Structure 1
Amino acid sequence: MKGLSRFLPAACLALALVFSGSVHAQQSAQPTAAAIASARELLTLKHADAMYANAVPGMVERTKTTLLQSNLNYQKDLNEVALIVAKSLAGREKEIGDGMAKIYAGHFTEQELKDLVTFYKSPLGQKLIAQEPKAIEASMGFMNQWAHQFADVVNGAFRAEMRKRGKEI
């Protein structure tokens, strides 16, 4: 029995290391093409492309604006070049969508992604897609209002504690 009690902690540690290694290997494994395809479908259903649809023109405009700050005499040229650059790079925002799909496929299994696609195609999933942005916006408004009111409470608490110390602020 004594020999077993000395062996058991080492065996448990070895098993824990083996299992943690296999979990890590599963998490770092490359997602399958089918998982990435399901992730793309999920992101399409959720209209994720709206987040990055203007990424290329936005980046072109920001770069032009930055360059104009130190090259005002090239304004006409930079405006013309911005159109050329935007046209030549159009469509590159797809790279963002591809990257997002790979990220989702790395965080969810293929089956989970298929289940999510099924859910988002359902009436409730469609309602979530339509209503969630409004709910989030309203929630953010509520949080901002709460923070403003709570800041007054915290400020009052500081003033009260400072008054107890004989100091008015």
Structure 2
Amino acid sequence: MALSRSARRLSFGVMALVLSATGALAQSAGPAPTPSQMQVARQLVEANGEARAFDGVIPNIVDGAALGFLQTNPDLAKQLRESATAVKPEFEKRKGEIVDIIATAYASRFTEQELKDALAFFSSSVGKKMVSDRAQIVQQSVANIQAWGGKLNAEAMERIRAEMKKLGYDL
């Protein structure tokens, strides 16, 4: 039942993304996507890996709802955990709604042909490799950016120290 801090942040971040996407759609002045655009957009969301990126959202939301009750009823932790586990399958069936939200965002911004072209790419061997290697690419990039940021910070501190020395301050 207890979510890790990173899982809670991910859950809230995902909810913010979904809410901002729906808000942006509500503000969109373009024509509604056609059924065929939506069909291709849904396939694209599955092929490009975005649908899988939201796999943990629904369980996290259900666990969060149970945690809300836990704050006022701490003695019911076991029963709340069991209740959350019991209702998760019911809510997991709604994952298609997340796919539809993302697909609508794509379909409202791309023509059907553009969606088909993107789907063709993500269905190709290179597109599939991009999706399968995305997590490792992001992990490597974050580690390298952190190292770069540390180096840049050290250089900036040294330069600020030199500038402050010109002003008569020895840091």
Please tell me whether Structure 1 or Structure 2 has the larger radius of gyration of its CA atoms: 1
Q: Could you tell me which residue of structure 2 aligns to residue 151 of structure 1?
A: 153
Q: Residue 94 of structure 1 corresponds to which residue in structure 2?
A: 96
Aligned to 2:113: 111
Q: Deviations over 1:114-146 (max 9, x none)?
A: 111112222222232233332232222211110
**Distance change >3 Å, CA 124–CA 75, structure 1 → 2:** closer
Deviation of 1:47 (Å): 2.3
Separation of aligned partners in 2, 1:107 and 1:54: 27
TM (normalized to structure 2)? 0.75
| Contact 2:33/2:107 (<8 A) preserved | yes
2:52 equivalent in structure 1: 50
In the alignment, is the contact (CA less than 8 A) between 1:27 and 1:106 conserved in 2?
A: no
| SS in structure 2 of the partner of residue 56 of structure 1 | helix
How big is the alpha-carbon RMSD for the aligned residues of Structure 1 and Structure 2?
1.9
Which residue in the other structure is 1:22 paired with? Answer: none
Count residues in correspondence. 144
Q: Which amino acid aligns with 1:51?
A: A
Question: In 1, distance between residues paired with 2:76 and 2:47?
Answer: 43
Within 2, Cα distance between the matches of 1:140 and 1:161?
A: 31
Secondary structure at the aligned position of 1:30 is classed as coil
In the TM superposition, residue 27 of structure 1 has moved relative to its aligned partner by 6.2
Residue equivalent to 1:11: none
Matching residue's letter, 1:117 = L
Aligned to 1:121: 123
Q: How does 1:38-77 map to 2 (within 5 A)?
A: 38-77=40-79
* Runs of 4+ residues deviating >4 angstroms: none
